[in-house]
Every structure is written in structure tokens, then in C-alpha cells.
Amino acid sequence: MAEEKGSAVGEVVHEVRSHSSKGAHVASLEKYKKLHEDSVRDPSGYWGRLARRELKWMHDFDKVKIGSLKNGDLAWFVGGKLNVSENCLDRWVEEGRGDDVAIIWEKDEPGQAVKYTYLEVLHKVCQIANVMRKFGVKKGDPVTLYMPMIPEAAFVMLACARIGAPHSVVFAGFSAEALRARVDDVHSKWIFTADEGLRGGRTIPLKKTVDDAISSCDFVNKCFVFKRTGADVSMTEGRDLWMEPELEGQRPYCPPEVMDAEDPLFYLYTSGSTGKPKGLMHSTAGYILYAQTTCKIIFDLRPGDVYACVADVGWITGHSYIVYGPLANGTTTLMFESTPLYPDAGRYWDVVETHSVTQFYTAPTAIRALMRHGPEPTEKYDLSTLRILGTVGEPINPAAWTWYFKHVGKERCAIIDTYWQTETGGIIVTPLPGATPLKPGSATLPFFGIDLEVLDPQSGKVVPFVEGEESSGVLCVKSAWPSMTRTVFNNHERYMNTYLKPYPGYYFTGDGVTRDKDGFFFVTGRVDDVLNVSGHRIGSAEIESALVAHDAVAESACVGFPHEVKGEGIACYVILKLGNEETDDLIKDLRNQIRSVIGPFASPDYIVITPALPKTRSGKLMRRVLRKIIALEADQLGDTSTLADPSVVDSLIEKVATLRK
Ligand code: WTA
């Protein structure tokens, strides 16, 4: 059971003594500390040993690591050859585990799960790979996926890995315009989609969105379409192809391509503080090793476990912890097509009971949405199989943490608050179940091989850790780890400027952090203009450029503000062009503009029409002032003496007060 004791800084520390600590991969804090120290002292020794033990190589590597963070020229497992799909599938079949369940697909409608064994997944992946080869997809060709949460999404990812074609999965909530930008940037000639998606009882017109997106991309050779709902969709002759008839009769084996350790496994677009989204590149060996190892140790995977991460494969969490991490461990992984509230607030727990889930991984925003429905739904189901409860995507507020711990975990399961990013490829700060004391709101301590440092953003100097003292700064990593992103597609300079040049010699996360007196990390959120809305990353610059593309908009500035369920809400301050007036229709139109350029999930909570924005005399926008105003904290504006026209602030305060009533 849990013991609660007050820590000196006032948070509650939980020491979870559950069956999760008995025989856990890392049994105590002392053991963690020793292993962590060893791993950061000799990263090559640590990762080299693991790479040989945990992965299947076609050819051994010569050197564990070359290059440096300073130069941005890192390479891991140099000279090594392997194939990720072989590591995720063939080796378990070869070990005689072909009949073990690899994927449980929990469909949108409850009670309709479908299970696929490792042998079945291998066959399906090989058949898809053979179709791709038949139509001319080659090693190195980027392939875009715009897929619903159906097992075929994972099959296609693995089929891409099998033939060495890097995938670029685009979350199916993105609009046609956002999809077009991503297809265009990576210049992918191949696209996979489905007729429609199904989520919370509603259909999502995926094929239609793809049609709109690629109508101007004449470099697209083929659009491969899976059937999900059977909807009548339009198919362009010569370009579009139904997959089901193509798969029939395909050989269920396809030899895996021999891939270099550093060959790209995938690109994944993510938002930054400026400009358009970046196609982050992840490598083959380093990525799969890190996904495999973190998944195994952090979720304390054991034979017979049923592991459920309810994210979407369109985000990095889905890549690393629905598909690659669990399958590279031979675990049973669950794919969830629905939402936490469909058909009611008990859906997650119904899934846990039905499939005897042992690890459950979700986002704080989902927990906060469920908290509103009270604990009853968690009491209706048998949750006794659960050992570990993970969260990811944004800081978890202590109230949500405690609710998850009490009502879902019954004070018996470890809450694993995992901090990481699309860039890091896998979890980098996390408690280890059974070893690390838990503090609500803290991702606690670095994973093995991760050497964290807190830097002072003004001086760029290290803020040293002094036991018993709290300190803050920006979170950086001091030495490379295998799954860090290697580059931005077609723009290495941007990669250097964003991550490696701000603090030379360090990887810069873009997050602020407080380290408590025990050295535990509390990530406080982005220090740049990236918003985190319901765990989805959106750049304020992206929303602003969507708005100024509208005829009526002269200028806009978008900021986040604390939101009870979403974590962060979006507020857009907009200056209209002369001759336009604020009307309900115009506001609706502006909202639609953002939905159609980015996607519905980026829909703003507030649009504040204003004649001017708070700028300094030199013309610099004071976002801090805009954030305080929308957060109803105008009493904490700080120094506004540099503003060119201080009266702007008063009129904005007044306007926001009426909007937020
Ligand atoms: C935030 C998601 C606090 C952070 C895997 C980071 C978190 C961004 C946590 C990356 C956490 C993620 N605690 N903040 N446990 N996990 N974040 O790329 O700001 O979608 O930089 O990757 O989410 O979001 P991304």
C-alpha cells in the first residue's frame, strides 16, 4: 500500500509498495542511482551492451557512437545493419511465440475487439510490403500515412520499416491544408489512408481530406486506401487503389531490407515556435533500441502483460509506445480507436476490465476530462489487473495525479509521469516503478543514459544542484542518447539552430524546469511560443499565419492560458483590416479558418478583436502582457513602461473581462 509522508518542499511523496515493485526491473532507488551514474559515465558501454543484448542484428556494429552534440553530427551503432520490422515481429515468431497476441484492436464500438497474433501481423505486414514493392515504392522513399486508429496503421508503419521506406504519419485530425503541407515538404509520392475514420460514433472523411490535400500534388503516384466504414468515396483512376483486393493473393512473406543503423526509420512533423512544422528524422537502430529499452523498464513489462497506450499513432507517443516499443519487446499492445467518453466516461475502465490490462498510459487532459464525471465509473469495473499507470504530454497537475492514483490505481499502482518530446524519440525523465518515490506533478528523475542539466536562460550557465535547495532554469541534456532526432528533413540548419546552438554542447528541450531540494524535476512547460493544448503541440506562429491568411485580418497574436481540462487554451488577439467589423459571423469564420488550415483541435477558445496590440516602442510584441490579460491576471502585468501606447492594455483588459464572463 501507499505510504504518504510530507517532503520538505510540501508535496506528498508516495512510496508505492505494490506487486509492481516485487521483481521489478529496477528494484530500488539506490540501484537506480548506481545504474544511472554508470550509464552516464560510460554511455557507449551502457548502450553498446544493451544493443547487442536486446536487438537482432544482421551485421554487428563497429562503434557505438561517433560525433557530438556541439557539431550535430551524431551517429550510433556505426556499421551495424538491422531491420526494425524483423526486430518487432520475426524474432518472436522464430522463438515459437507466433501464436501470442501482438495487437488487440479495441474498436470504436465497445465489445468488438479483434486480436492479431504475431504470426498474423507478420503476414499482414509482409503482404502490404509486397504491394508497396509491386507499385514501385523503394528504399528511402518517404511514405505518408493519414490513417485512423485501425491495426492497418501499425501494419503499414511496419511494412515501411520492412522495405526501408521512411514513414511520415500525419495525425488524422489535421486538415487537408496541414496534410498537404506535410506531403509537400517531405515530397512523398505514396500515401496510405482509409475511406473514413470512426471515433466516438462519428465518421471522419479521411479519403476526402486526402483528395483535397493532394489535388495540387501531382508528384503523388499512388494513394492506397483501406476500408474502414465501407463509405462510398471517390477514387481517382490510376492514382487511387483499394488495398483489400490488392492484398489478396500476396505472398505473406517479404524479406526484410538490410538497413544501416543510421538510415531514417521515419519522419514526424512537429510544431516549433517559429515557421512551419519540422519533419524530425528518427534513425533506425538508435530509435528502436531506446523505444524497446524504455518501454520494458519504465512499464516494467513482464510475460503475459497486456499493455494499453491510448494515444494516437499520429503522434510520437503512438509511434514509440503503441507500435515500436511494445512490439520490440514481444508484448501485447492495445490500439484504441475510440475516445475516453464514448459511449460514456467508463470506457477506459471497460477496456481495462475486458482485456485484463496491466499497464495503462494516457494524457493528463483525459484524466481531467474524466474527473469531471466523478469516480463512479472507475468503481463499476474490475481494475485489479492494473500495475502501472502512465501519463504523458503535459505537466500533470497534482489534483489529476491524485485522482488517477486513488480512483484508478486504488493507491496500489505506480503513477509514471513520463516527460519527453517528439525530438527525444522516447521517455527521458520518469520514475521507475518500484524504485523511484513518486511526487505528484514531478516526472522525477532521468532515465538511464540521460544526463540532465538545468541552465540559466540568461547567462547560459549551469545551475548546479545543491542538495536541500530548489532551483529553476531551462531543461537541457548534456550528452547524446541513441534516439535523439538526427536532423530536420531538408533543413539541418534549422535543427542546429533550434536544438543544439542555443546552448552549445547541450540539447535544448525548450522547456522550463524546477528541480526540488531532492533533485526531482518538475517540468513547468514551454519557454518558447509552442502551445500545448490537450497534449497537442501547436506553434503560435502557425495559428497566427492561418489567421493572417484570412482576408479580413491585418495582424494577430496567439497565446496560451491555463485551461481546466485542456491544460492550455488558445486565445487569438486579432487586428482587423480597415473596413471590416467585428460580427458573430466573422468570429465564426476566423475560427473556421484555423480549423481548415490546421485542424479542429487547434480551434481557439477566445478570439479577441482589438484595434492594436501591446508593443514596445521598438515594435516588439509583448506576449507576456497578452498572456496575463487572457489569464485574468492583469494585476500581475509587471513592467509595462516600455509600451509604446499603454492605453491598449486597458482596453484589452476590459474586452477580455466581457468575453470571459
Ligand atoms: C510537454 C509528447 C510536463 C513538454 C511525448 C514537451 C510534458 C512537449 C510532459 C512535447 C510531462 C510532455 N510533463 N510536460 N510528463 N510530457 N510534455 O513533442 O512541454 O508532442 O516539450 O511529445 O510536451 O510534446 P510532443
Collapsed DSSP state (helix, strand, coil) of residue 247: helix
Within this chain, do residues 440 and 554 fall inside the same structural domain, yes or no?
A: no
Within this chain, do residues 295 and 395 fall inside the same structural domain, yes or no?
A: yes
Band (pLDDT 50/70/90 cuts) for residue 9 is very low
CA distance 530 to 546: 15
Q: Is 57 a domain residue?
A: yes
Ligand 1 pocket test: which of 419, 428, 536 has the largest number of ligand atoms within 8 Å of its C-beta? 419
Using one digit for the tens of pLDDT, what is the confidence trace for 14-71?
665 554 556 677 889 999 999 999 999 999 999 999 999 999 999 999 999 999 999 9
Ligand 1 lined by 180 (C-beta under 6 Å):
no
Dist. CA 393 → ligand 1 center (Å): 4
Band (pLDDT 50/70/90 cuts) for residue 590 is very high
Atom 5 in ligand 1: residue holding the nearest Cα: 421
Using one digit for the tens of pLDDT, what is the confidence trace for 603-655?
999 999 999 999 999 889 999 999 999 999 999 988 888 899 989 999 999 99
Q: Is 155 a domain residue?
A: yes
Using one digit for the tens of pLDDT, what is the confidence trace for 364-414?
999 999 999 999 999 999 999 999 999 999 999 999 999 999 999 999 999
Within this chain, do residues 28 and 123 fall inside the same structural domain, yes or no?
A: yes
CA distance 345 to 348: 8
Atom 24 in ligand 1: residue holding the nearest Cα: 421
Ligand 1 lined by 512 (C-beta under 6 Å):
no
Ligand 1 lined by 430 (C-beta under 6 Å):
no
Ligand 1 lined by 319 (C-beta under 6 Å):
no
Report the b/e string of 123-141 with b at 16+ CB within 10 A.
bbbbbbbbbbbeeebeeeb
Burial class (CB in 10 A: 0-12, 13-18, 19+), 382: exposed
Q: What is the pTM of this model?
A: 0.95
Ligand 1 lined by 16 (C-beta under 6 Å):
no
pLDDT of 102 above 80? yes
Q: How far apart are the first and last CA of the chain?
A: 44
Give pLDDT, residue 273: 80
Q: Is 458 a domain residue?
A: no
- 388-392 and 414-418: which strand pairing? parallel
Percent of the chain with pLDDT over 90: 93
CA distances for 639 relative to 62, 117, 458, 612, angstroms? 57, 62, 18, 19
pLDDT of 514 above 60? yes
Give pLDDT, residue 14: 62
Within this chain, do residues 196 and 303 fall inside the same structural domain, yes or no?
A: yes
Q: Is 514 a domain residue?
A: no
Give pLDDT, residue 536: 93
Q: What are phi and psi of 133, to 5 degrees?
A: -65, -40
Give pLDDT, residue 182: 97
Is the pLDDT higher at 143 or at 434?
143
Burial class (CB in 10 A: 0-12, 13-18, 19+), 184: middle
Dist. CA 395 → ligand 1 center (Å): 7
Instruction: Assess contact for 631 and 606: CB atoms under 8 A.
Output: no
Domain encompassing residue 606: 534-660
Dist. CA 117 → ligand 1 center (Å): 32
Using one digit for the tens of pLDDT, what is the confidence trace for 426-457?
999 999 999 999 999 999 999 999 999 999 99
CATH code (residue 304): 3.40.50.12780
Among candidate residues 472, 498, 524, the one where a domain is terminated: 498
pLDDT of 5 above 70? no
Give pLDDT, residue 206: 98
CATH code (residue 543): 3.30.300.30
Q: Is 508 a domain residue?
A: no
Q: Is 3 a domain residue?
A: no
Ligand 1 lined by 438 (C-beta under 6 Å):
no
Within this chain, do residues 583 and 434 fall inside the same structural domain, yes or no?
A: no
pLDDT of 2 above 50? no
Q: Is 541 a domain residue?
A: yes
Using one digit for the tens of pLDDT, what is the confidence trace for 331-340?
999 999 999 9
Q: Is 505 a domain residue?
A: no
Give pLDDT, residue 3: 44
Ligand 1 lined by 270 (C-beta under 6 Å):
yes
- Containing H/E element for 146? strand 143-146
Within this chain, do residues 103 and 238 fall inside the same structural domain, yes or no?
A: yes
Is the pLDDT higher at 32 or at 273?
32
Domain count, the chain: 2
Cell numbers for 153: 496503421
Within this chain, do residues 437 and 565 fall inside the same structural domain, yes or no?
A: no
